[in-house]
Structure 1
């Protein structure tokens, strides 16, 4: 693999001149990634440059506040290995709050932050890169993508048809494809589980087959309730094999730390001996990862958070063991002290505060979050976590206050829409009787929406559709008809300003359609 990459890199370096950034806007690019010639602004020009100079294109879609995005900036984009590879592709950055970003999001089918896509010089999508694996695994997957002879879509079809011979690298690209950010590019949501099952069955034995088999379990465990699988008696054995192998557990750390409760629920019955055995094995694996100094601080804290999640499976509201509580406090304090990079802190402190909160240490979580308000470049993100902690305490006024502060402090049109929706959702849940305040916040959100260009695309559209359903549920019994009619009237005014042929107009008009008589 290394020889293939070096040969490819040498060819690209000899053939392609450097990308001019004279007109680029670099203010949104972190100093940690200053060694990368990020292309910002005219994305079509970047694709034209890539095609003319026969260079792949790497598209990064993110947001300033997003913890995983900041983790990527602090642990991947600043690595010399990534910076060196960036010379051989056209790196394009799209901030979700930049003008036209949401329309670009619809074009490239990117919604979740971060999404990272590698394209061929002709604009064909090669693969989507996983954002939550450790840096070494990420760079290996990026190298595989740069060396790939075909788009991942074609590789998937070959794998499923059984008519073509796939290399080990082809299978690795499939195994580490970012299914979470696929947005149904390769596989529809309803077909994801059966497709992963077919891939896992067809993959030659080895590490990639284990990864695909684990992905099958995750897809089954996280399926919608109507499609949820019954307890799978074979899942416990599969999970145990991965958990007992330190290297396998590390390679699949993202899946094991993100879905412990769901996977345990799929693999074992409540209060059973197999469940106790599986949880014990999982805890040991997470303890190894928490102590692994080669992992990032955020990854180690994620493994610690998984231990808390495991402890909550059988006793959701019970007290944690003193040893685990002590470990949570110590690990969080160490991470707080050791994390000085502002981008890394956005990720690490988010995970740390969440871990404290899940461990029942709400006051300590609050203290950490409030201290971060003075340090963070996006403090409004942490205000939502403070609102969540207040909700856990049952302190509705404090929760609503934090939602309000977060909305007031939020920056950027897409972010302000999302934070405004969070504030409005908080009111609908915690103060549903306060029609005046709900109407006031809705008015503010819709007023800004009407002044935002291309406001009804992709991530924005998803936020608005969910908000429309929340408002419909709020008025299910008709007790808020008057307020909702005024909100609808304001929305109608926003929709009317959109050109008749603009697809956004139909989206806008459908947002509150469930409430219409």
Structure 2
């Protein structure tokens, strides 16, 4: 299809839906500053007000994608979901908005729409009401099923949850499916308070009709309980019963595949939480989990990244009680990684595949193999700084402080985009503090450079930026807690105070800025 053909799509959609394209609608569509990528009419102008006006005028929901060029899961989404004809066809029925975290004003918009982790994908009504937060870790087939359900519902996820917790008698199977596939692990979700997530998921699993949705909700509930923080409301849980119920899910090949994100992502955490080391229940659960993971790793219908993530889970189980990976497992990892890496040619997919492959090699104790893969990818990747950081992490594991600092420095210098440079810069500073705490001059110089860039960046203290600044600030405060680095620390505080002072009193950023190193 030619680019010019896409200009007709909004009007065609209106005709299909029985709408009349008004002069206002045509003006909105013409001014949308859309970018046509892989057949999708993405808006990339960061004008969310105009995007919602376009959604309202065309009686369509708005699809908000929040991501970054370097992010492996984002590249996985681009390689396995956004390029599928089914998704491209569905994109005609919503206003697709592409919000890159490094674009002008993006961090402030991220705060407005409660998106922090990359990628986040939300389907919203034209009035801004959230229909659902779409899962980013499931396979493309399941993702498209969830998107289809979301497009066909007129009820917000918040209203659906209220009905469900009230007994859910009026809910359809599709409504339960949307609740089961909601991004509950997104720290920015506002569906329920963070302290209530474990209890809510457990209650939903009890109320949901028996079947796949109940199983997924239960799986999610167990993971939320296992990873709960102090102060969260906990349901009563019989661990032996939970273990057997989980084994039943793992033994069901279709159910395990439908929950591949949880099967691969929660193996070690749930095994550790539910069972005791070297116990019979632990052995039984790990055995069931390994069988399920091998099936996923062998499943050619899954993406290459998903199959690698299954291998990563297998390694996590093998090292659960402090054991080292056996040679047979290491050889299997080498073989599978080599096969998958050589078969991956798409640039987006490689960013995801190489990341997962390098983690698999590293976690299996094959640091040299991981380094070889990462170094080769530096020449091919569109975001090589991501892999430089991984090389720094590997050097840190070896205890090679000099090499680690060198890689973290290269990663920071090569990074592009204001939010990305802040993230990589803060990582560099925190690793300098960990690895060379006596190097006041270097720590001060790099932190000062980061502050200089912040001073030149509009909306610099919002969302992901804020989170990384707070982490870096805490690290620097701990570094100087005994006053051993007071001169360098005070110089940085003075510089930051000067930046904060130039922010208007009514600007939300001012308090964030002042809180990075704490108020005097």
TM-score, reference length from structure 2: 0.93
**Whole-angstrom CA distance in 2 between matches of 1:365 and 1:25:** 40
RMSD of aligned alpha carbons: 1.9
Moved more, 146-155 or 160-169: 160-169
**Whole-angstrom CA distance in 1 between matches of 2:386 and 2:511:** 31
Q: Secondary structure at the match of 1:117?
A: strand
**Whole-angstrom CA distance in 2 between matches of 1:266 and 1:228:** 17
Alignment counterpart, residue 419 of structure 1, candidates 415, 424, 448: 424
The aligned counterpart of 2:243 is: 236
**Whole-angstrom CA distance in 2 between matches of 1:16 and 1:496:** 52
Is 1:305–2:305 an aligned residue pair?
Answer: no
Alignment counterpart, residue 363 of structure 2, candidates 358, 381, 399: 358
Moved more, 340-349 or 229-238: 229-238
Q: C-alpha offsets along residues 204-226 of structure 1, whole Å, 9 cap, x if unaligned?
A: 11110000000001101112367
Aligned positions of 1:494-513 closer than 5 A: 494-513=499-518
The aligned counterpart of 2:401 is: 396
Q: 1:12 to 1:180 in 2, by over 3 A?
A: farther
Is 1:440–2:445 an aligned residue pair?
Answer: yes
The aligned counterpart of 1:112 is: 117
The aligned counterpart of 2:282 is: 275
**Whole-angstrom CA distance in 2 between matches of 1:358 and 1:21:** 51
Moved more, 72-81 or 194-203: 194-203
Q: Secondary structure at the match of 1:233?
A: helix
Q: 1:16 to 1:68 in 2, by over 3 A?
A: farther
The aligned counterpart of 2:255 is: 248
Unaligned runs of at least 5 residues, structure 2: 1-12
Alignment counterpart, residue 497 of structure 2, candidates 476, 492, 501: 492
The aligned counterpart of 1:296 is: 303
Whether the 8 Å CA contact 1:13–1:88 is kept in 2: the answer is: no
Whether the 8 Å CA contact 1:16–1:54 is kept in 2: the answer is: no
The aligned counterpart of 1:142 is: 147
Moved more, 166-175 or 216-225: 216-225
Q: 1:221 to 1:135 in 2, by over 3 A?
A: same
Whether the 8 Å CA contact 2:196–2:232 is kept in 1: the answer is: no
Q: Secondary structure at the match of 2:122?
A: strand
Q: Secondary structure at the match of 1:38?
A: strand
The aligned counterpart of 1:165 is: 170
**Whole-angstrom CA distance in 2 between matches of 1:103 and 1:407:** 23
The aligned counterpart of 2:354 is: 349
Moved more, 160-169 or 74-83: 160-169
1:22 is displaced (CA, Å) by: 6.2
**Whole-angstrom CA distance in 2 between matches of 1:163 and 1:127:** 18
Aligned positions of 1:32-431 closer than 5 A: 33-41=37-45, 42-162=47-167, 165-181=170-186, 183-224=188-229, 232-316=239-323, 318=324, 320-431=325-436
**Whole-angstrom CA distance in 2 between matches of 1:23 and 1:149:** 25
The aligned counterpart of 2:10 is: none
Alignment counterpart, residue 24 of structure 1, candidates 28, 33, 39: 33
**Whole-angstrom CA distance in 1 between matches of 2:14 and 2:280:** 56
**Whole-angstrom CA distance in 1 between matches of 2:202 and 2:498:** 48
The aligned counterpart of 2:475 is: 470
**Whole-angstrom CA distance in 1 between matches of 2:20 and 2:474:** 50
Q: 1:182 to 1:165 in 2, by over 3 A?
A: farther
1:380 is displaced (CA, Å) by: 0.4
1:231 is displaced (CA, Å) by: 8.4
Whether the 8 Å CA contact 2:195–2:233 is kept in 1: the answer is: no
Whether the 8 Å CA contact 1:231–1:266 is kept in 2: the answer is: no
Is 1:457–2:462 an aligned residue pair?
Answer: yes
Whether the 8 Å CA contact 1:231–1:269 is kept in 2: the answer is: no
Q: 1:456 to 1:300 in 2, by over 3 A?
A: same
Whether the 8 Å CA contact 2:34–2:41 is kept in 1: the answer is: no
1:123 is displaced (CA, Å) by: 2.3
Q: Secondary structure at the match of 1:86?
A: helix
